[in-house]
Structures are given as C-alpha cells and as structure tokens.
C-alpha cells in the first residue's frame, strides 16, 4: 500500500491542472486571432475562448481554496464545475471548427 502524499498538495495539483486547462483554452483563442481572418467568426471564437479561459481559471482558484481548507468540507467534488467546463470546451470546439471552415 502506498502512503498518501504530504498534506496540502491536493490543492496545488488541482490549481496546476485548472491553470493548464485555462492556458490551453487561451492558446486556442490566440491561434484563432493569429490565423488570417477571412470572416467574422474568428474574433467571436477568440472572445469565447478568452471568456472560457477566465472561467476555467476562476473555477480553479475556487477549487484550490476549497481543498486548502482544514478540515475539508463535507462535499469536495466539483461535478457541476467540471460539467460546465466540459460543455463550454465542446461549444468552443464547434465554434472553432466552424470559424476555421468558413
């Protein structure tokens, strides 16, 4: 049996994961802006990417604060936040594909 890691690292790992996710979404938006604009959909997709990236980052900050509290709250799962981010990323994918295809 392996022993659990030092106390408090869960919050740090969670913050890093959410930060990586928000960075990946932001890079999507930057790539849309840098791509030669041929239509009006790219700036909309880039703005959507920026909005989603900020949302993901804020969710990550909230999750880090929740996991850093001692004693831990009774409910620490992030189902609703993960579902929200998942749906937002799927919408961004559709908008990106449509924006690049047109």
State the pLDDT at residue 14: 78
State the pLDDT at residue 69: 79
Residue 79, token pair as written in the block: 């189902």
- pTM: predicted TM-score of the whole model, two decimal places: 0.73
Distance (Å, rounded) from C-alpha 31 to C-alpha 22? Answer: 14
State the pLDDT at residue 5: 52
Judge whether 59 and 85 are in contact, CB under 8 Å: yes
State the pLDDT at residue 100: 67
Please list the ranges in the chain whose pLDDT falls under 50: 1-3
Whether the link from the prior residue into 71 is cis, omega within 30° of 0, is yes
Distance (Å, rounded) from C-alpha 84 to C-alpha 40? Answer: 26
State the pLDDT at residue 1: 44
Q: Which residues contact 43 (CB under 8 A, 6 or more apart)?
A: 32, 33, 37
- In eight-state DSSP terms, residue 2 is P
- In eight-state DSSP terms, residue 71 is S
């Amino acid at each position: 049996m392996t022993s659990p890691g030092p106390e408090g690292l869960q919050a740090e790992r969670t913050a890093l994961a959410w930060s990586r996710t928000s960075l990946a979404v932001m890079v999507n938006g930057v790539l849309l802006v840098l791509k030669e604009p041929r239509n009006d959909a790219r700036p909309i997709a880039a703005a959507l990417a920026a909005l989603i990236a900020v949302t993901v980052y804020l969710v990550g900050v909230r999750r880090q604060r929740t996991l850093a509290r001692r004693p831990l709250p009774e409910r620490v799962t992030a189902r609703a936040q993960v579902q929200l981010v998942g749906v937002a990323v799927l919408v961004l994918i559709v908008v990106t594909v449509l924006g690049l295809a047109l």
